[in-house]
Structure 1
């Protein structure tokens, strides 16, 4: 009996070390793939605006590669192919789909990087663990028609993520049929969210937000949803090493028409990943890396089974998403109105408008809020206490066209508070300019009121001297004019 007890005790110790080691292995694996990410990044796509025709050759190359299986599983309304890429021989099916919304492309880029990872000769032991235990399926760019014009909805004007019940769109029917045919154990619903979300009560952007969607109005937690929650805990802990404090948790109110909620309901442990904002990362290349690390770490954790040890209570500790971020916030600037002085905070966002067949964009910035913004945050904050706001002036001379601008001293103009130049002939079919002032028509009338919704162009004075300009949302000193404004605007 004593010998049997010693054997049992030894067995328990071995189990402890085995599971402890697999948990540590996932963490170490995450650290190493983050360090070596650059060798796996697919350099063929490095901006958010790409099309089906850009993606297809990068998928097709795997058709002839050992270990990869490519199947056309459907078509979009406009006839673009929907392709499923599968690899691995395990009993656990993991299904990942991206770009259900055509303008949410971060995870599609990360999927290309993950495919590069599996094609490489690196991390053979970790890949063996995943491929022997999992069958992994990727459906990138579920909404190629939306991606073609970089918009949320498909060609029918339908939000695919609200079509899980009626299934009117062919893209929706494809997603449902693939999920059902796989009867996937785990599902990753990969999206982008606004860059203006922050982790609640902090100044940190919610660069990644997670959700284990509810499957009913009561938000019950069964084993399926619990597994999704535990896996999110694993990913959150890993991402804290890369983006500390920049992970949020999405609202879990049940939406009966949404795919994530229903796929959870249908028995697949579903994880929503939302890619938000990151400082100096408009093209989301840093967040692409966060997706790469989080998803591969999750796959490793599923294969090892160590996610089951995660503390479910830690899921609730992830901060909620909040929407309290601006691109630029000016604190306590003095503004004069009707002979009285007022102290205002000013919140500015740099909105993106598409150009060049939706393959590029320009900024059209607006004052989106003003008043007491002390509970809000920003990617860039300027303490404007002691500065007075001057809304700017129109240059006294009307010039002929843009060719007349090349000899102007813009630093000198900005130091005088000139934010607008009239042209007899404005450029045609374009709404923005590379010059660091706004261009306007001869009939232009300057808006002399400061209200939310106006273009974010004005000046900051101290002791009667203009020290800073804000041109189309870009804060700069006048002497820095040539390099700080990515674009100004053209007003007819």
Structure 2
């Protein structure tokens, strides 16, 4: 059992630290094993990188371990192959941990970090949530049927972490509570039982999230969300929490006009650093459940694009309505493309668009019809002069 000694470090300038350590070789949303292996290579001489297992398709799964401290932190990313923002933030963090600044020296004395930067390389390659067997690894912790799930459980049992960070991306549909603000970063202290009780283990995760949120509010005020805490024993976070290790779910979400999530990676990076700082200073001993519950729960109320006050022909009648489009992330020619499809038609009361157009009564028309149809590509005209291609107004 470890014990904390309360310590203080000089307040970091998180934005400056990010800019100095951003890994420029990684950008965008489509991050594969081929992208990260050359970067991992520069750490091999330090014996910090190991191949710890293989995916279904025999791709290498790597770990990066650094630090000699008694407080052990296990972090893994891209458990879902199409969720890469936190992977970028980890490589930014690796650069920082390679530096000789005072904070890093102190952290390496107090912590041992064990990173798995890409748990699902097959899913990363195909840009899918599932692995090559079409199994969601984050729903496989009862059966442990997949090599990637078995590997994570093996590392958990061997490393014996004191804290776990479960790193993911979330969709653009979420707002931070009943606001018009996107949930740029969201958190969850998973439940350890059906009753959602708060024991000593979950309380530590709650206190840690409260500390991270306090820091994030300086950078993205009112854009931090909290996930629903319904218990699911199939999920890794709920499992590890039930097994007695405080576990925090990180969800990288949407920042205004940032579909490549280059801004969001910055706030994930800040979240990680501030989380380590909270642990270093032992600022998790007080009950911060009230602060945690003040973080607004994620609310599904966003579409990518909303078109309002559109005139359409329906049953030989003309009416004014609204419709929305959502981007689907599709791999075409080894490139990630955002393609807009019609996703909803109706009053859209209580829903917002990350981008909105007011048609002011102009008529809808596309190549096939005068009515937007669900799942059709969002290519159409409004009135005589406004042509939309892939959901966006073409100049």
TM-score range, shorter chain: over 0.9
1:470 to 367, 370, 388: 388
- Give yes or no for contact 1:87–1:136 (8 Å, CA) kept in 2: yes
The answer to whether the 8 A contact 1:326-1:348 is kept is: yes
- Contact 2:305–2:391 at 8 Å: present in 1 too? yes
Please give the secondary structure, in 1, of the residue aligned with 2:158.
Answer: helix
Shift of the alpha carbon at 1:196?
A: 1.6
2:17 is the counterpart of 1:57: no
1:239-267 deviation line (CA, Å, top 9, x unaligned): 12222221111111111111110011111
User: Which of 67, 70, 73 lines up with 2:49 in the alignment?
Assistant: 70
Q: Does 2:362 correspond to 1:388?
A: yes
| TM-score of the aligned structures, taking structure 2 as reference length | 0.93
Say what the alpha-carbon RMSD is for the aligned residues.
Answer: 1.9
Determine helix, strand or coil for the equivalent of 1:221.
coil
Instruction: Specify the alignment match of 2:188 in structure 1.
Output: 211
Contact 1:392-1:457 at 8 Å conserved across structures: yes
Is the contact between residue 99 and residue 141 of structure 1 (CA under 8 Å) also seen in structure 2? yes
User: Would the aligned equivalents of 2:364 and 2:371 in 1 still touch at CA under 8 Å?
Assistant: no
Q: What is aligned with 2:373? A: 451
Distance 1:238 1:84 in 2: 28
What are the Cα deviations for residues 298-338 of structure 1, in whole angstroms up to 9, with x where unaligned? Answer: 01211221233462211111111122111111222333435
**1:101 to partner: Cα distance:** 0.9
Residue correspondences, number: 391
| C-alpha distance in structure 2 between counterparts of 1:114 and 1:244, whole Å | 23
Aligned structure 1 segments of 4 or more residues deviating by more than 4 angstroms:
none
- 1:91 paired residue number: 70
- Equivalent residue number for residue 6 of structure 1: none
Work out the CA distance in 2 between the residues paired with 1:281 and 1:182: 36
Please tell me whether the aligned partners of residues 456 and 470 of structure 1 are also in contact (alpha carbons under 8 angstroms): yes
> Secondary structure in 1 aligned to 2:81?
coil
Q: Is the 8 A contact 2:55 2:121 kept in 1?
A: yes
Quick check: 1:129–1:304 contact (8 Å CA) kept in 2? no
CA distance in 1, matches of 2:151, 2:71: 21
Determine if the alignment matches structure 1 residue 231 to structure 2 residue 208. Answer: yes
Flag the 1:467–1:310 CA change in 2: closer, same or farther, 3 A.
farther
Alignment match, 1:248: 225
Q: Residue 353 of structure 2 corresponds to which residue in structure 1?
A: 378
Structure 1 counterpart of 2:127: 150
**Residue 26 of structure 2 is aligned with which of 45, 49, 52?**
45
Q: Distance in 2 between matches of 1:89 and 1:245?
A: 37
5 Å-filtered alignment, 1:279-358, equals: 279-309=256-286, 311-338=288-315, 340-357=317-334
Which one has the largest radius of gyration? 1
8 Å CA contact 1:188, 1:273 repeated in 2? yes
Deviation of the 1:282 alpha carbon: 1.6
Deviation at 1:237, TM superposition (A): 1.6
Q: For structure 2, which runs of at least 5 residues remain unmatched after alignment?
A: none
**CA deviation digits over 1:434-486, x for unaligned, max 9?**
xxxxxxxxxxxx2343333333233223xxxx34222221124xxx2xxxxxx
Structure 2 CA distance, aligned partners of 1:221 and 1:46? 39
Instruction: Give the TM-score normalised by structure 1.
Output: 0.76
Which consecutive unaligned segments of at least 5 residues does structure 1 have? Answer: 1-17, 394-445, 481-492
State the match for 1:116 in structure 2.
95
Larger helix percent: 1
Query: Which residue is 2:382 aligned to?
Result: 460
Whose RCO is larger (CA < 8 A, sep 6+)? 2
Distance across 1 between alignment mates of 2:319 and 2:287 = 52
Cα distance change on mapping 1:310 and 1:46 into 2, 3 Å: farther
Deviation at 1:47, TM superposition (A): 2.0
Give 3-state SS (helix, strand or coil) of 2:363's partner.
strand
| Aligned equivalents of 1:338, 1:217: Cα separation in 2 | 49
